[in-house]
Structure 1
Amino acid sequence: MTSHVIRRHLLRGLTAATATALLAGSLAACGGDSEAATTAGSAAAGTVTVGRLSNGAAREAILKVSEVKSLSAEVPAAIRKRGTLLVGVGALPSGFPPLAYVGGDQKTLTGAEPDLGRLVAAVLGLKPEVRNSTWENMFVGLDSGKSDVLFSNVTDTEERKRKYEFASYRQDNLAFEVPKNDTWTFDGDYRTLAGKTVAVSSGTNQERILLEWKKKLRSEGRKLTVKYYQDHNSTYLALSSGKIDTYFGPNPGIAYHVTQTAKTPQATRTAGTFSGAGATLQGLIAATTKKDSGLAKPVADAINHLIKNGQYAQWLKAWNLSNEAVTTSQINPPGLPLDNS
């Protein structure tokens, strides 16, 4: 599943008021520019506050992060001399909660992605400088040296490997969302969906997968009903009223909605996940660096350090994304094949 598709459909989950507020905050932060630096957002030297200014999307946690000298020594000399890690994020114009969006102060970029960039920078003994731009300009910024590494929900694909190197840090998952009191669970087998009515967004990777399952079930003499709605508000109204059994969409967006509705009569839960790359390959989200920049290895090593000491798990838990955890950060792992990139 390509990340720009995920980003587009995460945005559909916002109410008009939230989208307007986030857009206003984005423009206030950057004066309408498509390439703008955003403050680092650390609480103090040696700490990184994850979930800061999240507007309720995360449980704030202050993590004490120390430089690991053996890992900072791996950082390319020019970056080490500069003392800053330029982290690229493509969240303009209106962000994509819970991954990257303008926080409660209407100027600071918050979200799971910039938070991980800040954690990695701390391990490498560097000051993080997060640069927010549009999705397209994010890659232009990496190519031109305006950023060193991207933390922006970029899917590892074989096509992108022709130009970039990756250090994986999250599973690229889709998810099923149901009312909180519904006991149904998706166990990875499409047959679990027999007799269900499922909402999905048109033109997405998840729609393609769902329609393939529908075709298989039909050949087995069983039925799967697929429903489409104009926006996420309509989808969730259908879910709460029982017109559909479940919604199938990007896991981060569903995790965000679960968090937002947790204390309401419309509370929901995640009923299972499925790889965005399909049944035969676990899709991966990865930090992205220029090919042969020498930065992919220290970034991967820093992520693995965070995994080993438990701070990676704390970061995911803060953003309700624990179901996308990886056991290790891999450099250039198998990605979506060229015919599905």
Structure 2
Amino acid sequence: MPTLLSRRSLIRGLASATAVATLATGLAACGGDSDAATTTGSANNGEVVIGQVSNGAAQQTTVKVSEVKSISAELPAAVRKSGRLVMGEGALPAGFPPLAYVGSDQKTLTGSEPDLGRLVAAVLGLTPQVKNFTWENMFVGIDSGKVDVAFSNVTDTEERKKKYEFASYRQDNLAFTVPKKSTWNFDDNYENLAGKTVSVSAGTNQEKILLEWKAKLAKEGKNLTVKYYQDSNSVYLALASGKIDAYLGPNPGIAYHNRQVADTPNATRTAGTYSGAGGSLQGLIAATAKKDSGLAKPLADAINHLIENGQYAKWLAAYNLSNEAVTRSEVNPPGLPLDNS
């Protein structure tokens, strides 16, 4: 979420999914941070439960994961001595399934982001403690030392590198959703949009990309119709009735919606993804710590251990996010440039 523009795009896209099945009703706190959703969910006997109390956003999966001493030895002394990994989420006030929201027990902060943090903490031999904030106050928490690391769908940007260090763990993608019966696919080629009618949320980075494609097609004498709707229910009604061919939004929200309607007459599927950073750079989501904290390397090494041993793939699959997999976690990889970050 590199800018207000793309932050808004995530919230709107995930709000579309939330309108289909509202899960985050327990997240009622409205202040800067919440102590109500700090259930740790630490590893028990070398096991971490992915998708616990997710209320259908994930397929609950138990994986074995234990401390790797060679990696935990890399931790800054203060963190290792504390025995905890304090993780920040920017999910107040309403949460954004499937990434981070209060689960069906009305107290546990669940979702793909805190679940990855719990897996990483297990590799590091630390007890995870999850703290929930508003988006802005999550960064204040990192700055003040209240939080060690944020696992909260934070996009790696060159602007943020002035204050933070990163360990990448997921692609930052947009996605097209279509009726399950549709045979159309994006296939990473904007020319496949010729003659199509696509809905998008106004004022978002996906709208910017879609309008750029529309302009390119127009120069080729081809047409792309872009439609706007006031709310997500209207978008999905238009999709089901054939008024639009596809909807372009943040991939996690699309994946969540696909899962929620999978067994209904209006089932949808993903017809292709595209980097949220545009065609010249693959956007990356990254664990975010204070610059020079010494946390980025052990975090990346822990994520790579999870990748190499299969727990990472199980985590993504549980949340229907396998299409955002990275092959390796990198420390401070190239991020969105300063003129777009």
Q: TM-score, normalised by structure 2?
A: 0.96
Gaps of 5+ in 2: none
Measured on the aligned residues, the alpha-carbon RMSD in Å equals 1.5
- Whole-angstrom distance in 2 between the partners of 1:303 and 1:147: 19
Contact 1:53 1:105 in 2 (8 A): yes
Number of positions where the alignment pairs a residue of Structure 1 with one of Structure 2: 337
| Deviation for aligned residue 1:45 | 3.4
- Mapping for residues 1-341 of structure 1, pairs under 5 Å: 2=2, 4-14=7-17, 19=22, 22-23=24-25, 25-27=26-28, 34-36=33-35, 38-42=38-42, 44-341=44-341
| Counterpart secondary structure, 1:240 | helix
| Deviation for aligned residue 1:35 | 3.7
> Percent identity, aligned pairs only?
72
Cα shift readout 1:193-250 (whole Å, capped 9, x = no counterpart): 0000000000000000000000000000000000000011100000000000000000
Q: Which amino acid aligns with 1:249?
A: G
Contact 2:32 2:134 in 1 (8 A): no
- Whole-angstrom distance in 2 between the partners of 1:198 and 1:317: 27
Contact 1:11 1:95 in 2 (8 A): no
Q: Which amino acid aligns with 2:246?
A: T
Q: In the superposition, relative to structure 1, how do residues 8 and 52 fare at CA in structure 2: closer, same or farther (>3 Å)?
A: same
Gaps of 5+ in 1: none
| Counterpart secondary structure, 1:187 | coil
Q: Which amino acid aligns with 1:69?
A: K
Q: In the superposition, relative to structure 1, how do residues 17 and 285 fare at CA in structure 2: closer, same or farther (>3 Å)?
A: closer
| Counterpart secondary structure, 1:326 | coil
| Deviation for aligned residue 1:22 | 1.9
- Whole-angstrom distance in 2 between the partners of 1:181 and 1:193: 18
Q: In the superposition, relative to structure 1, how do residues 15 and 229 fare at CA in structure 2: closer, same or farther (>3 Å)?
A: same
| Deviation for aligned residue 1:9 | 1.4
| Deviation for aligned residue 1:7 | 3.4
Q: In the superposition, relative to structure 1, how do residues 214 and 128 fare at CA in structure 2: closer, same or farther (>3 Å)?
A: same
| Deviation for aligned residue 1:32 | 5.4
Contact 2:9 2:201 in 1 (8 A): no
Cα shift readout 1:299-341 (whole Å, capped 9, x = no counterpart): 0000000000010000000000000000000000010011111
Contact 1:10 1:97 in 2 (8 A): no
- Whole-angstrom distance in 2 between the partners of 1:221 and 1:10: 31
- Whole-angstrom distance in 2 between the partners of 1:81 and 1:147: 15
| Deviation for aligned residue 1:15 | 5.1
Contact 1:80 1:126 in 2 (8 A): yes
- Whole-angstrom distance in 1 between the partners of 2:226 and 2:173: 20
- Whole-angstrom distance in 2 between the partners of 1:307 and 1:15: 29
